[in-house]
Each structure stands twice: as structure tokens, then as C-alpha cells.
Amino acid sequence: MTDDHTHVQEFFAARAADWDSRFPDDGPAYRAAVAELGLRPGARVLDAGCGTGRALPALRDTVTSSGTVLGVDLTPAMLEAAVRAGRQSCGRLLLADVARLPVRAQTLDAVFGAGLISHLPDPAENLRELARVVRPGGLLALFHPIGRAALAARQGRQITPDDLRAEDNLRPLLAGSGWQMTSYVDEDARFLALAVRQG
Ligand SMILES: C[S@@+](CC[C@H](N)C(=O)[O-])C[C@H]1O[C@@H](n2cnc3c(N)ncnc32)[C@H](O)[C@@H]1O
């Protein structure tokens, strides 16, 4: 366990109990983002940094009972909140680091990551690990239910040019990690970058 991991766990453990009640209206935005992955019944999908599992019901509904849904998170308290919310009925919950996924190479069709990338200690390496577990042609969605400018305003800060999620930074970051970015939306109500796993 690194200092980065301990920091992430402490940060989210303190917020886990009321995570869902702080953002009660986000459900439709998660559903819309999941829909953009175009997953079919039977598909295998990972929610990376699933937290309390807010995306899991939409992922399960999309892949149906014949599909596979995994939710991975580093913070036990977030997964415990997911269980209390009944989200383990939507997918298998695993306590794990996205830097070392307990998943075989090229076994998944897609990865959904909401609010994850800004918390990763080594985004290039960690995105490469996500690429490892997805088949060539599979998809990645990096989502946030609020755009970068609106989030910065809410947090009382400015967006800096080195922001990882700026289009000009994210595109090469993804390309260097095995992903080709295919679409990018950054508006007040949502951030969504889609990428395809390169062969
Ligand atoms: C902003 S929260 C988002 C949670 C959830 N995806 C949502 O949209 O409500 C980020 C989550 O990523 C998890 N996380 C951060 N770094 C991680 C890592 N290296 N491996 C797995 N999970 C991680 C945190 O524990 C936290 O639950």
C-alpha cells in the first residue's frame, strides 16, 4: 500500500456514508453515459473505481443477466456503502487497485470509469492496465457527472493547462496507454471521453 493509496482510502472513507445522498440527481446522467458505450446483452464490463456502485444498475440493465459486471474499488468503505445500497445484486464487487486488476488479459468488452482518472497516481500506467484487460476494439468511458469548468467553480479553483482531462492532454495520454480517443464532451452537465482499445 503506497501513500497515494492511503490518501485515496482516507479521502473516500470519510465521504462514503453520504456519497449517494450528496448527489441524488445523478442517476440519469450515469444511465446516459453507460448507454453511449453501446454495450450489448451478454457483454463483459468493468466499473473501475466503482465507489458506491452508482453506475452498476445501468451497466447490469444494459448487459442483462447474460452479461458480466465487475465493480472494482480501492476503498473498503465505498464498497461497503455499495453493499448497503444493494448494488452487489448488479455485479461482483472486488476490493482491488486498478493498477493491478485481478482480471485476465483481453477478457472484457468495456471499462467504465466515473470520477476515477484524477485520483490515479500514475494515469498512463493505470490506463495501460485497463487496456490490458479489454479486448482489441473494446471501449473505455471516462465519465464525470459534471464538466471540468463547473467542477472547478464548485471547488473554488481555476482549471490549469496541465489538467489531465483537458482534451489536448487526455488524447495523447490515452494514445500512449493503448487507447484511441473517439469522442470528447466537456459541458457543465457532464464530462465524457470515449476511447477504443487499439489492436
Ligand atoms: C470520485 S469517486 C467515484 C466513485 C464512483 N465511480 C461514482 O461515480 O460515484 C472515485 C473512486 O475511485 C476509487 N479509486 C481511486 N483510486 C483507485 C485505484 N487505484 N483503484 C481502484 N479504485 C480507486 C476511490 O476509492 C473512489 O471510490
Q: How far apart are CA 123 and CA 148, in angstroms?
A: 17
pLDDT tens-digit series, residues 80-133: 999 999 999 999 999 999 999 999 999 999 999 999 999 999 999 999 999 999
* Ligand 1 midpoint to CA 75 (Å): 7
Q: 5 with 97: CB under 8 angstroms?
A: yes
Pocket test for ligand 1, best of 74, 127, 151 (most atoms within 8 A of CB): 74
pLDDT of residue 3: 81
Q: Is the CB of 71 under 6 A from ligand 1?
A: no
Fold of 3-197: Rossmann fold (3.40.50)
Domains of the chain by residue range: 3-197
Question: What pLDDT digit, counting tens, does each position of 129-157 carry?
Answer: 999 999 999 999 999 999 999 999 999 99
Instruction: Let me know: does 116 contact 134? Beta carbons within 8 Å.
Output: no
Give the Å distance between the CA of 74 and the centre of ligand 1.
Answer: 7
